[in-house]
Chain A
Amino acid sequence: MPTTSAASEKLVWKTRLFAAIVVLTNVTGNFALSWGIKHGAAMDGSAWSFVRVIFDPWVFCGILLLSGWVLSRMALLSWADLSYVIPVTSVGFVMNAIMGAVFLGEIITPTRWLGTLCIVGGTVLVGLTAPKTETQ
């Protein structure tokens, strides 16, 4: 619609950029955390191990990235609907599966490919709707 194009076009791209930041910080943050926990930053359940683990470089990076995830998600939710943000940022499940295959040698079965296809399809379907319904 030409009358609303400039402002809503800008909002759509801002929303896509922030959705991408939310997904990337979440996936890389979780990956760094689990890599750190599995390689060296041993947790023995004692209170001291909960403190010590924070200073493992991978775990520390993971915490920084996940802090970025919380802040970028707050910013995104300041304008975009929750019912838009939830399915669109679910594309992170796909990225987790791919990172598992690439870095951890996990096998992606045909069922998982089908699941991936469903998630991407659902994400695109919701991504094509306006991020903020009040403006429609």
Chain B
Amino acid sequence: MAWLYVAIIVISTVASDLLQSWEMKRQGEVTDFGVGGIGRLLKLLLTKGPLIGSIIFLAISFYAFLALLAVADLSFAVPATALSLVAETILARLVLKERVTPARWGGTVLVAIGVALLAL
């Protein structure tokens, strides 16, 4: 059961971030940080399909994490988050066509190892 929750967490986290990054790149760089700018971001969040989807996946991932904590230790749950860091970088390369430089790969793997160590 625990591994099923891990799979749900990783897949929904990755889906949420890919959708958010993809739609925000399409919207273009945010430059207005006043009240109007924040209002515009809120409006995007409530009207753009990919952003609504990203929030739904975020909620699924959040509740799956709570469910995982009910059946497994935090020391098992947190390294699962580290898995999604690496999965997201691979998909940022494949789906979003980002240029992931060696420094980024190295840094991401280092962060994932660190997150796993924190849970020991």
A residues in contact (CB < 8 Å) with B: 70-71, 73-75, 77-79, 81-87, 90, 93-94, 97, 109, 111-112, 114-129, 133-134, 136
State whether A84 touches B104 (Cβ < 8 A): yes
Given contacts A112-B117, A129-B104, contact A74 B24 (CB under 8 A): yes
Query: In this complex, which of A127, A128, A129 has the most chain B Cβ atoms within 10 angstroms of its Cβ?
Result: A129
Q: B118 contacts A71, CB within 8 Å?
A: no
- For window 14-39 of B, CB contacts with A under 8 Å fall at 17-18, 20-21, 24-25, 27-30, 33, 38
Q: A77-B25, A78-B24, A126-B104 are in contact. Are A93 and B114 (CB under 8 A)?
A: yes
**Per a CB cutoff under 8 Å, which of A74, A124, A134 touches B51?**
A74
B81: nearest residue on chain A (CB-CB)?
Answer: A93
Complex alpha-carbon distance, A83 and B120, angstroms: 26
The complex places the Cα of A83 from the Cα of B93 at a distance, in Å, of 8
Q: Is B11 an interface residue (CB 8 A)?
A: no
- Report B's interface with A, CB cutoff 8 A: 17-18, 20-21, 24-25, 27-30, 33, 38, 41-42, 44-45, 51, 55, 58, 78, 85, 88-89, 92-93, 96, 98-101, 103-104, 106-120
Complex Cα distance, B103 from A85, in Å, reads: 14
Closest to A134 in B: B99
For B103, the chain A residues whose CB sits under 8 A away are: 125-126, 128-129
Are A71 and B41 closer than 8 Å at their CB atoms?
yes
Query: Contact between B27 and A86 (Cβ–Cβ < 8 Å)?
Result: no
A-B pairs with beta carbons under 8 Å apart, 22 shown: A71-B45, A74-B45, A75-B30, A78-B30, A81-B96, A82-B21, A83-B96, A83-B98, A83-B100, A85-B21, A93-B114, A93-B118, A109-B120, A115-B119, A115-B120, A118-B111, A119-B111, A122-B106, A122-B109, A126-B108, A129-B101, A133-B101
Nearest-neighbour CB distance to chain A for B106, whole angstroms, equals 6
Residues of A within 8 A of B101 (CB): 129, 133
- CB pair A83–B104 under 8 Å, yes or no, is yes
Q: Enumerate chain A residues within 8 angstroms of B29, measured Cβ to Cβ.
A: 78-79
CA distance A83 to B104 in the complex (A): 7
Query: Top 10 nearest A-B pairs by Cβ distance?
Result: A115-B117, A118-B114, A122-B110, A119-B114, A126-B107, A125-B107, A122-B111, A115-B118, A83-B92, A82-B21
